[in-house]
């Protein structure tokens, strides 16, 4: 129930960036959504599509890149993606590992078609 606000923030950022490229058509906006960000990619896409409908950004596509939860091993320092809540290091088996990523909610890129 908060994806609409996030979609709206994405659109605001696109609008601001599009002003830097007058006359260009923006085709795609890429966002990175971590597994721990608490954002549902499908709901985000749905909200985004509803927002752009009937606007100059009607044909702008939102591309969501999902990123996994990442942990770092306290023993061998390896960083690994966590699957199915298995938090132990896949290399050395150490169980003390620390969450170092996966909560990102970031704008990644904008694809523009220049005339």
Nearer to another protein, 69 or 80 (CB): 69
Among 22, 42, 83, 114, interactor with another protein by CB under 8 A: 114
Residue 113 in contact with another protein, rule: CB under 8 A: yes
Residues 6+ apart with CB under 8 A from 71: 79, 80, 82, 87, 89, 97, 98, 99, 100
CA 111/CA 86 separation, integer angstroms:
37
Q: Which spans of this chain sit near another protein (rule: CB under 8 A)?
A: 1-2, 5-6, 9-10, 13, 17, 21, 27, 29-31, 37-38, 103-114
């Amino acid at each position: 129930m908060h994806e609409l606000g996030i979609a709206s923030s994405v659109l605001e950022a696109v609008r601001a960036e599009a002003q830097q490229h007058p006359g260009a058509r923006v085709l795609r906006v890429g966002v990175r959504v971590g597994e721990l960000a608490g954002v549902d990619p499908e709901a985000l896409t749905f909200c985004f599509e509803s927002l752009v409908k009937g606007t100059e950004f009607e044909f702008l596509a939102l591309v969501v890149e999902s990123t996994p939860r990442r942990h770092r091993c306290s023993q061998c320092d390896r960083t690994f993606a966590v699957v199915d809540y298995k938090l132990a290091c896949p290399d050395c088996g150490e169980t003390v590992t620390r969450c170092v990523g996966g909560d990102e909610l970031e704008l990644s890129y904008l694809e523009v078609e220049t005339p």
